[in-house]
Amino acid sequence: MCHKNNITRSLYNRGNESATDFAYALALYRRGFTRMEVYNCILQERQDWTNHASERKKEQYLTRTLLKAEKIIG
């Protein structure tokens, strides 16, 4: 579980793994988490990596997701 205010990924469940990750990333960025902290929180808390099975695919997916979230947050 990530620390600041005990925020967890389950609080942002959208019924879709990618949508949940994105909502969670936005929430973490809004609370002042760094890119590495957001990356690690999602990596630790997401259970189903079926669509991104290899380490390379996980890394590429998380990088894309975080860059999209950063664009919105500014």
Per-residue pLDDT of the chain (74 residues; tens, 9 = 90+): 566 667 899 999 999 999 999 999 999 999 999 999 999 999 999 999 999 989 999 999 999 999 999 999 98
Give the fold, CATH level 3, of 4-73.
Answer: 1.10.1240
pLDDT of residue 74: 86
32: CB partners within 8 A, 6+ apart: 4
pLDDT of residue 1: 56
Model pTM score: 0.91
Instruction: Determine the Cα–Cα distance for residues 37 and 32; give it in Å rounded to an integer.
Output: 10
| Domain residue limits, the chain | 4-73
